Amino acid sequence: MSKKQRVALLGCGFIGEVHAKNLVAHPGIELVYVADTDPSRVDMFSQRFDTRGATASQAIQDDSIDMVLIASATPTHADLLEAAARAGKAIYCEKPIDLSLDRARRVADAVLPLNVAITVGFNRRFDASHQQLKQQLRQGRIGEAELIQMVCRSSEMPPLSYLQASGGQMRDQAIHFFDLLRWLTDDEVCEVAAMGSALVQPEITRFGDVDTSVLLMRMQRGALAQLDNTRRTGYGYDERISVMGAKGMLESGSQKPQGVTCYQGSQIQQPGLFPDWFSRVQATYYAHLDAFVRSLNGESVTDLPGLEDGLKAQAIAEAAVISLAEGRFCQVALATL
């Protein structure tokens, strides 16, 4: 068995807790440090996960640390990524690299030559059902992809404070599906058209956001794609992808927990979808972490999203933001990556 990766977790918020649980449960990882700007959180995490507190820079400078997991606030990602890369650490960085695509590009320019292992937090690539879809698509089961449908619908509006700092629906929510689309098809998005509205919470238009949006995308090899996003459904978390090719259609459908079906009168009632996004995608965080650890241990792992993947998904999001705002088709600036 390989040596355990010694890991520092930077960021002790909601998503930091998700990662902390996985880090302590993974047999190939030792959680050495937790860091946060808030000392009380550091205390809580170090006690709960039986580990030590540190500042982010202490953790990054500690030579015994192999890997850094960046789960801190978005504005801190870029600096921490650069510092950890310069210190030669393997890096798991939550998305996005930075809300500014320019800044994200400069980080990539600085970091890529350092040749450290980096993965960006597009954990949905590790959904077991989406992975089957990609595998069967690659094996040619339905021929070349022609028409892709994606649905990304959260069950409940996040707090206004979250939305205000999020970068908007394209950069915060849809971005996972921009990545999934590229990954599933092994192709690039070249053109985007988007329409959106604030149907659920009109006040978010103050900072230019929408909560309901629909998108068209044209792929370089000719396929066409659709995506819809909502922040609130009234029926649970709905995530699904279908890909049509010349020889049929593959569908990674809406998912719901197992349960009882009731036949009564003129109706059949089944358990509904997962109540929220987290109950649906929870397992993918561990699977992503595990894939990264396996790659650090020398295994060939093809699905890991890298820094370039982070940039490319952000470039699509930027085009979508422009299309939404200006009511026009928008090319994706792939050439400049």
Residues 111-170 within binding reach of its own copies (CB under 8 A): 128-129, 132-133, 136, 141-143, 146-147, 149, 151, 153
Kindly identify the residues of this chain, within the stretch 197-216, that bind its own copies according to CB under 8 A. 197, 199-200, 212-216
d(CA 294, CA 276): 29
Taking the complex as a whole, the smallest distance from the CB of residue 145 to its own copies amounts, in Å, to 10
The tally of CA atoms less than 13 A away on the side-chain side of residue 324 is: 25
Comparing CB distances to its own copies, the nearer of 162 and 235 is 235
Report angle CA 91, 52, 165 to the nearest 5 degrees. Answer: 55
Comparing CB distances to its own copies, the nearer of 17 and 94 is 17
Taking the complex as a whole, the smallest distance from the CB of residue 127 to its own copies amounts, in Å, to 9
Binding string, residues 249-288; x marks residues near its own copies by CB under 8 A: xxxxx-xxxxxxxxxxxxxxxxxxx-x-------------
Comparing CB distances to its own copies, the nearer of 161 and 270 is 270
For 67, list phi and psi in degrees, rounded to 5.
-145, 145
Comparing CB distances to its own copies, the nearer of 63 and 268 is 268
Kindly identify the residues of this chain, within the stretch 302-321, that bind its own copies according to CB under 8 A. none
Indicate which single residue of 8, 87, 244, 317 sits in contact with its own copies (rule: CB under 8 A): 244
Taking the complex as a whole, the smallest distance from the CB of residue 42 to its own copies amounts, in Å, to 22
Comparing CB distances to its own copies, the nearer of 96 and 236 is 236
d(CA 12, CA 57): 15
157 residue type, one letter = M
Indicate which single residue of 16, 167, 196, 305 sits in contact with its own copies (rule: CB under 8 A): 196
Comparing CB distances to its own copies, the nearer of 146 and 303 is 146
Stretch of 45-53, 59-67, 91-99, 234-242 contacting its own copies, by CB under 8 A: 234-242
d(CA 125, CA 304): 8
Q: Which residue has the tokens 């029926």?
A: 235
Taking the complex as a whole, the smallest distance from the CB of residue 117 to its own copies amounts, in Å, to 30
Sheet containing strand 5-10, edge to edge, reads 52-53, 29-35, 5-10, 67-70, 90-93, 118-120
Q: Answer yes or no whether residue 222 interacts with its own copies by CB under 8 A.
A: yes
Taking the complex as a whole, the smallest distance from the CB of residue 144 to its own copies amounts, in Å, to 8
CA dihedral 95, 99, 103, 109 (to 10 degrees): 20
Radius of gyration of the chain (CA): 20
Q: Which residue has the tokens 């504005």?
A: 75
Taking the complex as a whole, the smallest distance from the CB of residue 51 to its own copies amounts, in Å, to 17
> Burial letters for 111-131: b for 16+ Cβ neighbours within 10 Å, e otherwise?
beeeebbbbbbbbbbbbeebb
Measured between its terminal Cα atoms, the distance across the chain in Å is 39
d(CA 11, CA 73): 7
Kindly identify the residues of this chain, within the stretch 26-85, that bind its own copies according to CB under 8 A. none
Kindly identify the residues of this chain, within the stretch 172-191, that bind its own copies according to CB under 8 A. 191
Q: Taking the mean position of all CA atoms in its chain, how far away is CA 296?
A: 20
Comparing CB distances to its own copies, the nearer of 128 and 165 is 128
Taking the complex as a whole, the smallest distance from the CB of residue 269 to its own copies amounts, in Å, to 5
Indicate which single residue of 6, 103, 218, 294 sits in contact with its own copies (rule: CB under 8 A): 218
Stretch of 29-37, 113-121, 195-203, 302-310 contacting its own copies, by CB under 8 A: 195-203
Indicate which single residue of 22, 173, 185, 230 sits in contact with its own copies (rule: CB under 8 A): 230
- For its own copies (CB under 8 A), the number of binding residues is 73
d(CA 47, CA 210): 40
d(CA 190, CA 179): 13
Report angle CA 254, 257, 261 to the nearest 5 degrees. Answer: 100
